[in-house]
Structure 1
Amino acid sequence: MSTSESPFAAIADTAFFKGHGTQNDFVLLSDDDSALEMHPETVALLADRRTGLGGDGIIRIVRSAASGIPGALEQAEAGAEWFMDYYNNDGSLSEMCGNGVRVFAHALVETGRVPADAGEIRVGTRDGIKVVRTTLNPALGVQTGDGVASGRTGPGSAADAWYTVDMGRWALDDGDAVLVTTSGIEVARPGLNVDTGNPHTVVALAEVGELEAAELRDAPVLDPVPAHGANVEYIVMEPARSDVSGGEGALRMRVFERGVGETRSCGTGACAAAIAAHHWAGPQSPLQWRVDVPGGQLRIGITPDEDGTHGNVTLSGPAVLVAAGTIS
């Protein structure tokens, strides 16, 4: 097949990387000076696990100032040289991806686009600038000689690179509950709407058995249907841990992502899940949460405003690059 006949002709000869954050996986395309035209059909084919490279999403690495994306030039002027142009598995645009922004930042470091010793990386997104910092892997992390947290532990262990992302503002809607009907769960359950840059609906389940029974091959049905759709998180809260100052909440989560289906992890969803769990457990409940997802473990830090319905949130977790090549 000639290049002109290839379904990827529009992005031929583009360098790519494959990476994941807690097994939420992405194909990253190098397009520093914004030469590519990103067609939804091409993106969906590339993300397909049979027709393309496969991934939960596609990320274009592009300079903010060159991207032509609304608001990106202002973000460049505010210090975000690089923009994470994120697409869902089906080719649709998404505002933000918490796991994706960590993988994006890791790719910037690994490819030399930002210095390896950068104290912070400012990343442009459609949900505003996200500040990313290297942090400790809670299981294996060590302190460097200058006291700066290093996400790498042991010789060459890039898989242990952890990053903390300031995810910015969140808001919850504690009005009328959304009813969520899910295959494998007999009765529709109420959900809490949480905005963490992406729209989410969080559903609390009573036990792990219910969490495992949910059939997430089928899209959950929400009533009323949110205007822009929503990712749906199913959580089971676990006993709080005492090995973190002030205590640490713990929960298990599965997620159905709009435009994708069930994924092994969702960063903005983990934030929404922890925020909902804290809200349901009350203002005296932990502000630090461990979220166990099928693909690994994430850490969430919540800073609520006085009214408890808004605040700031941080997301910490690993980022890994597993392959690199060129689109043919």
Structure 2
Amino acid sequence: MVAFTKGHGTGNDFVIIADPDGALELSTEQIAALCDRNFGIGGDGLLRVVRSTVIAEGEGILAEEPEAEWFMDYRNADGSIAEMCGNGIRVFAHYLVRSGLATIEPGSTLPIGTRTGVRDVTRSENGYQVDLGRWRLSGDDPLTSVSGLAVPRPGLGIDVGNPHVVVALASEQELAGLDLHRPPVLDPVLPEGANIEFVVPGEPLVRDGVGRVRMRVHERGVGETLSCGTGVAATALAVRHWAGEGAPDHWRVEVPGGTLGVRMFPAEDGEHVGLSGPAQLVYSGEIALA
């Protein structure tokens, strides 16, 4: 039997398994079974809580930040390895705090290791904020075909530690009419795949100095989810890019599961993007591994 906790951030839900000493080897098939909504616990992904000292990727993490005791071993619902998860890392931090494995004092930062490097988490008014690090335009701007749209639409490739393609839509009706049960098709195909976000601007786009947009997302290895933290960040970055000079650095992004905050700010190595929002733990239990 394996102990687990179920958690979510704006409806983006995860199976959390504590494995501090790295003793548990989970296969792709086992992870997919745990995340299965009909025959398992159900989740958009799995978060394995492991010390950086006992995972292969941890050596580089500790060289970057010796205080990064914990590593977020994140897997998609199909068991595939993912680089990063913006909602997941807030839930991961909340689990560490609630279980007594770490603390985040007011004004302090909790460094967490990920496959994209160390990510710093702090407390925020509505939960937690994570510095997702430096972002970049990937240069991958494929045409995107999706059920519900008559013709392919151009996408903007953005990398926030994992790959995204953001597609602008003309109206709320187009957004509501998308069928994301089937994966959108990119042309050209991206070798590593991508999370694909579909966005419409708010009316007005900017209110009280804050940009406002709505989005839906299809995540690689998962399908449509109620929220995608890195996708929210990518969406805000894309809309700011399209809006041009004078666009704000603070954004509120509505997803089916709630609302998340995004801000862009300067750092020594270039502009970073931060994501803020809630994190909740729902229940705990035990399950037998297949």
SS state at 1:129 partner: strand
Give the superposition deviation at 1:187: 1.1
Q: Assess if the C-alpha contact under 8 Å between 2:65 and 2:118 holds in 1.
A: no
**Equivalent pair of 1:65/1:76 in contact (CA under 8 Å):** no
CA deviations 1:18-66 (Å, max 9, x no partner) are 0000000000001010000020000000000011100000010001111
Q: Which of 26, 32, 35 matches 1:44?
A: 32
- For 1:209, the aligned partner's letter is Q
Identity %: 53
CA distance in 2, matches of 1:228, 1:236: 26
Correspondence 1:1-328 to 2 at 5 A: 12=1, 14-69=2-57, 71-72=59-60, 74=62, 78-115=66-103, 117=105, 119-137=108-126, 162-173=127-138, 175=139, 177-238=141-202, 239-243=204-208, 247-303=209-265, 311-328=271-288
SS of alignment partner, residue 184 of structure 1: coil
Contact 2:58 2:113 in 1 (8 A): no
Mapped to 2, the partners of 1:177 and 1:249 lie a distance apart of: 23
Task: Kindly state the Cα deviation for residue 120 of structure 1 after the two structures are TM-superposed.
Answer: 1.6
Runs of at least 5 residues in structure 1 that lack an aligned partner in the other structure: 1-11, 138-161
Alignment RMSD (CA, Å) = 1.7
Larger Rg belongs to: 1
Name the CA distance, whole Å, in 2 between partners of 1:35 and 1:68.
13
Deviation at 1:210, TM superposition (A): 0.2
- On the 8 A contact 2:14/2:44 being kept in 1, the answer is yes
SS at match of 2:50: strand
**5+ unaligned residues in a row in structure 2: which ranges?**
none
Residue 296 of structure 1: CA displacement?
0.3
C-alpha distance in structure 2 between counterparts of 1:298 and 1:133, whole Å = 15
Please list the CA deviations of residues 276-315 of structure 1 after superposition, one character each: whole Å capped at 9, or x if unmatched.
000000021111010000000000002379xxxx731000
Under a length normalisation based on structure 2, what TM-score does the superposition of the two structures give?
A: 0.94
Report the AA paired with residue 319 of structure 1: A
Q: How many residues are treated as equivalent by the alignment?
A: 284
